[in-house]
Amino acid sequence: MNELESSHMVDRNVELAEEILCLKRQRGAVILAHNYQRGEVQDLADFVGDSLELSQNASEIEAQVIVFCGVHFMAETAAILCPDKRVLLPDINAGCPMANMITAESLIAKKGEFPDATVVCYINSSADVKAESDVCCTSANAVKVIESLHTDKVLFVPDQYLGHYISTKIDKEMILWPGFCPTHVRILPEDIVYLKSEHPDAKVIVHPECRPEVIALADEVLSTGGMCGFAKQTDAKVIIVGTEVGIIRRLSKENPDKKFIAASQKAVCPNMKRITPEKTLWALQDMAPEVRVTEEIRVRAKRAVDKMLDIGRVDQELASLS
Ligand code: 13P
Ligand code: SF4
């Protein structure tokens, strides 16, 4: 892009942001955005966070309209939690390939093989799959949620790598579904080894969706929200970040004195990048595409999500007492 084109883009984004802000007020809407969203989309949002923070936020929000700048399962989780609100996903094709690696039918068949296992689903799953699960978790609370269960046997779906990571932290039998994130598997151990050799003092933080060989090389294994918290409190000046590249922008903006290096430039989630300011404006203009869940599925899926949120609340209450 030449200088003229890039200044035109800046002007267009400012124009779009003004239109979106105005329409957002008229509609009584809030914009929630995930940490992997494009920078210009994050800048439009009322709240930017990880899957857990976004679902907590959606469950507490007063606004009647939520524009969810993320992927389908995230908007669907908001629709599960807030049946009286309209949840808009600016591009209805922004899905999560990992979430699509399991269906309710295939989960029901697997449950038949392990009738005594407690079913824990990663939030990166459809409402239908959540409805077939006992409890949900995110990357931020997975170990805590599973530790708190009164069971020795867990059927964990759909992310085998998050499941494997949890199994190294707890003493329970874990049956793992063979799903994975096509973006995080692009981060290779050799990427970390090379960057560590270039920056020997750097800290390495990675997402638990990474391969076990990558996790083994990390100083910290964190959700995207956990990474934002770590970045603020660490003394390290250089941090190698093993997750989707979109998070680098927020980390750098919030910590201008530190250098953040993406572990791999190949770790791009094309679905997250489907959302643009223009599509966000159209969603507010058309009040569409809307994400809905049938009442029968919603009620059953909500049980699994509520159970996760309740475990988090008890944990927060205990922390405030100590
Ligand atoms: P976080 O909940 O850590 O933001 O992760 C969501 C996700 O989709 C990771 O790929
Ligand atoms: Fe799904 Fe991976 Fe994209 Fe996260 S980064 S939304 S897990 S495909």
CA–CA separation, 181 vs 204, rounded Å? Answer: 20
- Residue 267 CA, ligand 2 centroid: distance in Å: 10
244: Cβ below 6 Å to ligand 2?
yes
Looking at residues 169-183, what average pLDDT do you find?
98
50: Cβ below 6 Å to ligand 1?
yes
Q: Is 316 exposed, middle or buried (0-12, 13-18, 19+ CB in 10 A)?
A: exposed
Is residue 120 scored above 70 in pLDDT? yes
Query: Which of ligand 2's atoms lies nearest the C-alpha of 271?
Result: 3
Categorize the per-residue pLDDT at 318 as very low, low, confident or very high, splitting at 50, 70 and 90: low
- Residue 181 CA, ligand 2 centroid: distance in Å: 6
- Residue 35 CA, ligand 1 centroid: distance in Å: 8
Q: Are the CB atoms for 301 and 127 separated by under 8 Å?
A: yes
139: Cβ below 6 Å to ligand 1?
yes
152-166, 193-207, 307-321, range with the lowest pLDDT: 307-321
Q: How far is CA 90 from CA 13, 41, 66, 188, in A?
A: 16, 11, 11, 32
- Residue 124 CA, ligand 1 centroid: distance in Å: 8
Closest residue by CA, ligand 2 atom 8: 96
CA–CA separation, 27 vs 280, rounded Å? Answer: 13
Average pLDDT over all residues of the chain = 95
- Residue 275 CA, ligand 2 centroid: distance in Å: 14
Predicted confidence at residue 13, as pLDDT, reads 82
223: Cβ below 6 Å to ligand 2?
no
Nearest 10 degrees: Cα torsion 183, 32, 165, 114:
-100
| Nearby residues of 69 by Cβ (< 8 Å), 6 or more positions away | 31, 32, 33, 34, 37, 41, 42, 44, 45, 90, 275, 280
- Residue 97 CA, ligand 2 centroid: distance in Å: 7
For a pocket test of ligand 1, which of 69, 71, 124, 215 has the largest count of ligand atoms closer than 8 A to its C-beta? Answer: 124
| Nearby residues of 145 by Cβ (< 8 Å), 6 or more positions away | 120, 135, 136, 137, 308, 311
Tokens of 261: 């290096």
Q: Are the CB atoms for 161 and 210 separated by under 8 Å?
A: yes
Q: How far is CA 34 from CA 29, 129, 232, 301, 316, in A?
A: 17, 22, 18, 21, 23
Predicted confidence at residue 312, as pLDDT, reads 76
Q: Give residue 19's region: left, alpha or beta (phi > 0; psi -120 to 50).
A: alpha
Predicted confidence at residue 238, as pLDDT, reads 98
Predicted confidence at residue 303, as pLDDT, reads 98
Categorize the per-residue pLDDT at 317 as very low, low, confident or very high, splitting at 50, 70 and 90: low
